């Protein structure tokens, strides 16, 4: 996998956390940078750890699925991206509180990083540099989540659904690219 693909995956994966961060920012009467930092750390750390778990799960089974790994990557990324696109059309108000206690943040961090677990499985099939990949994903998620709190606090609902839509489209395109490359229909 090329660097720009990992960055694209990182941005796509971060969109759920970005959208929830916007909601957190919306619920703050006054911007609290300490809370924004805590929110960004939770999302960044979990978004980086889940692909590691997925990678080891995928590695354990890679010999069984090597001949269809590109189809698995395509299907997983398309399902994740499709769900994000679908979610971008729905009005979600359930995450609109500014609590950052451990229980609340663990639930949100796990919920927004489940898709990263599936991406980690695909990383095992393509033998990516895991440390570099999770670092990129974690940093991108951290930065976008921090920005999401600020944007949410300043601008409101405008960007939440657009972020999820963009992230979903990016993941579907990367999945399609992987499939087409392995079928020999796309040369990059």
pLDDT tens digit string along 96-114? Answer: 556 788 988 988 898 888 8
pLDDT tens for residues 47-78? 999 999 999 988 887 677 667 777 877 887 78
Residue 97: what pLDDT? 59
Does residue 49 sit within a domain?
yes
Does residue 99 sit within a domain?
yes
Of the pLDDT bands very low, low, confident and very high (cuts 50, 70, 90), residue 159 is low
Exposure letters 158-187 (e unless 16+ CB within 10 A, then b): ebbbebbbbbbbbbbebbebbbeebeeeee
Of the pLDDT bands very low, low, confident and very high (cuts 50, 70, 90), residue 79 is confident
Residue 29 CB neighbours (<10 A) = 7
Mean pLDDT of 9-32: 87
Does residue 138 sit within a domain?
yes
Does residue 187 sit within a domain?
no
Does residue 128 sit within a domain?
yes
Of the pLDDT bands very low, low, confident and very high (cuts 50, 70, 90), residue 95 is very low
pTM of the model: 0.74
pLDDT tens for residues 32-41? 999 999 999 9
Q: Which domain range does residue 69 map to?
A: 3-182
Does residue 188 sit within a domain?
no
Confirm if 72 and 65 have CB atoms less than 8 A apart: yes
Does residue 150 sit within a domain?
yes
Number of domains into which the chain is organized? 1
Residue that the structure tokens 């729905």 belong to:
90
Does residue 38 sit within a domain?
yes
């Amino acid at each position: 996998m090329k660097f720009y693909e990992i960055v694209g995956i990182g941005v796509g994966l971060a969109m759920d956390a970005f959208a929830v961060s916007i909601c957190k920012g919306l619920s703050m009467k006054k911007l609290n940078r300490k809370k924004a930092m805590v929110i960004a750390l939770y999302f960044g750390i979990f978004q980086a750890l889940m692909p590691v778990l997925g990678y080891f799960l995928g590695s354990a089974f890679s010999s069984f699925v090597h001949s269809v790994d590109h189809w698995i990557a395509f299907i997983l990324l398309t399902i994740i991206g499709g769900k994000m696109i679908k979610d971008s059309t729905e009005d979600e108000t359930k995450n609109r509180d500014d609590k950052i206690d451990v229980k609340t943040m663990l639930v949100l961090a796990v919920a927004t990083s489940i898709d990263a677990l599936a991406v980690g499985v695909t990383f095992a099939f393509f033998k990516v540099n895991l440390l570099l990949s999770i670092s990129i994903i974690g940093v991108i998620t951290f930065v976008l989540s921090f920005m999401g709190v600020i944007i949410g606090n300043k601008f409101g609902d405008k960007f939440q659904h657009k972020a999820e839509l963009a992230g979903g489209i990016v993941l579907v395109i990367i999945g399609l690219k992987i499939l087409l490359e392995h079928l020999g229909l796309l040369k990059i």
